[in-house]
Amino acid sequence: MGLKKLTSAALLATLAAPVIAQQSIYGQCGGIGWTGPTSCVSGTTCQYGNDYYSQCLPGGAATTTTKTTTKATTTSTKTTTTSSKTTTTSTKTTTAAAGGTTCTASNISQVSSVVASCTNIVLSNIAVPGGQQLNLNSLKASTTVTFSGTTTFGYYSWTSPLILIGGTDFHITAASGAIIDGNGPAWWDGQGDGGQPKPGHFIQVTSAGTKSLIEKLTIKNYPNHCFTLGGTGLTLQNLNIDNSAGNAANSLSGGKAAAHNSDGFNCKAKNVLFQDITVNNQDDCIAVSSGAGNVTAQRMTCIGSHGLSIGSVGSSTTIDNVKFLDSTVKGGENGCRIKTVSGATGSTVSNVLFQNIALSGITDDGIIIDQAYDGTEGQPTNGVKITNVQFVNVTGTVASGAKDYYISCGSGSCSGITFSGVKVTGGKGDSCNYGSLC
Ligand X SMILES: *[C@@H]1O[C@H](CO)[C@@H](O)[C@H](O)[C@H]1NC(C)=O
Closest C-alpha to 322, from 407, 414, 370, 387: 387
- C-beta of 186 vs 358, nearer to ligand X: 358
Q: Provide, rounded to whole angstroms, the least separation between the CB of residue 334 and ligand X.
A: 16
Please report, as residue ranges, which positions from 195 to 224 form the binding site for ligand X (by CB under 6 A): none
- C-beta of 8 vs 317, nearer to ligand X: 317
- Angle at the Cα of 137 (from 134 to 140), degrees rounded to 5? 120
Stretch that binds ligand X, among 69-77, 351-359, 364-372, 412-420 (CB under 6 A): 351-359
- Angle at the Cα of 296 (from 293 to 299), degrees rounded to 5? 160
Closest C-alpha to 119, from 138, 142, 136, 149: 142
Q: Does 112 bind ligand X (CB under 6 A)?
A: no
Strands 75-76 and 81-82, how do they pair?
antiparallel
DSSP-assigned states of every residue in 339-377: EEETT--SEEEEEEEEEEEEEEEESSEEEEEEEEETS-T
Binding mask 263-302 for ligand X (x = CB under 6 A): -------x----------------------xx--------
Q: Provide, rounded to whole angstroms, the least separation between the CB of residue 318 and ligand X.
A: 7
Residue 184's SS3 state is: helix
Q: Which of 116, 127, 141, 175 binds ligand X (CB under 6 A)?
A: 127
Distance in angstroms between the alpha carbons of the first and the last residue of the chain: 83
Q: Please report how many Cα atoms fall inside a 13 Å half-sphere around the Cα of residue 144, on the Cβ side.
A: 25
Stretch that binds ligand X, among 17-25, 169-177, 276-284, 352-360 (CB under 6 A): 352-360
Q: Does 393 bind ligand X (CB under 6 A)?
A: yes
Beta-carbon contacts of 350 under 8 Å, excluding residues fewer than 6 positions away, are 318, 319, 320, 321, 385, 386, 387, 388
Q: Provide, rounded to whole angstroms, the least separation between the CB of residue 52 and ligand X.
A: 19
Q: Provide, rounded to whole angstroms, the least separation between the CB of residue 129 and ligand X.
A: 9
CA distance 365 to 428: 10
CA distance 283 to 263: 5
Q: Does 425 bind ligand X (CB under 6 A)?
A: no
CA distance 98 to 25: 14
Q: Which of 181, 276, 320, 430 binds ligand X (CB under 6 A)?
A: 320
- C-beta of 246 vs 426, nearer to ligand X: 426
Total residues at interface with ligand X (CB under 6 A): 13
Stretch that binds ligand X, among 23-31, 94-102, 203-211, 355-363 (CB under 6 A): 355-363
- C-beta of 194 vs 421, nearer to ligand X: 421
Q: Provide, rounded to whole angstroms, the least separation between the CB of residue 123 and ligand X.
A: 13
CA distance 68 to 100: 24
118-121, long-range: CB < 8 A, 24+ apart: 118/143, 119/61, 119/143, 119/144, 120/61, 120/62, 120/96, 120/144, 121/145, 121/146
Stretch that binds ligand X, among 144-152, 174-182, 356-364, 425-433 (CB under 6 A): 356-364
- C-beta of 320 vs 374, nearer to ligand X: 320
Q: Which of 96, 186, 358, 438 binds ligand X (CB under 6 A)?
A: 358
Q: Provide, rounded to whole angstroms, the least separation between the CB of residue 396 and ligand X.
A: 7
Q: Does 113 bind ligand X (CB under 6 A)?
A: no
Q: Does 21 bind ligand X (CB under 6 A)?
A: no
Buried residues in 403-419 as b, exposed as e (16+ CB within 10 A):
bbbbbbbbeebbeebeb
Rg over alpha carbons for the chain, rounded to the nearest Å, is 26
Residue 8's SS3 state is: helix
CA distance 144 to 140: 9
Q: Does 356 bind ligand X (CB under 6 A)?
A: yes
Query: Quick check: is 225 catalytic?
Result: no
Q: Does 107 bind ligand X (CB under 6 A)?
A: yes
Q: Could you say which of 171, 201, 225, 306 is catalytic?
A: 306
Stretch that binds ligand X, among 70-78, 350-358, 362-370, 381-389 (CB under 6 A): 350-358
Please identify the residue of the shown chain whose CB is closest to the bound ligand X. Answer: 293
Residues that bind ligand X (CB under 6 A): 107, 109, 127, 270, 293-294, 320-321, 356-358, 393, 395
Which are the catalytic amino acids?
306
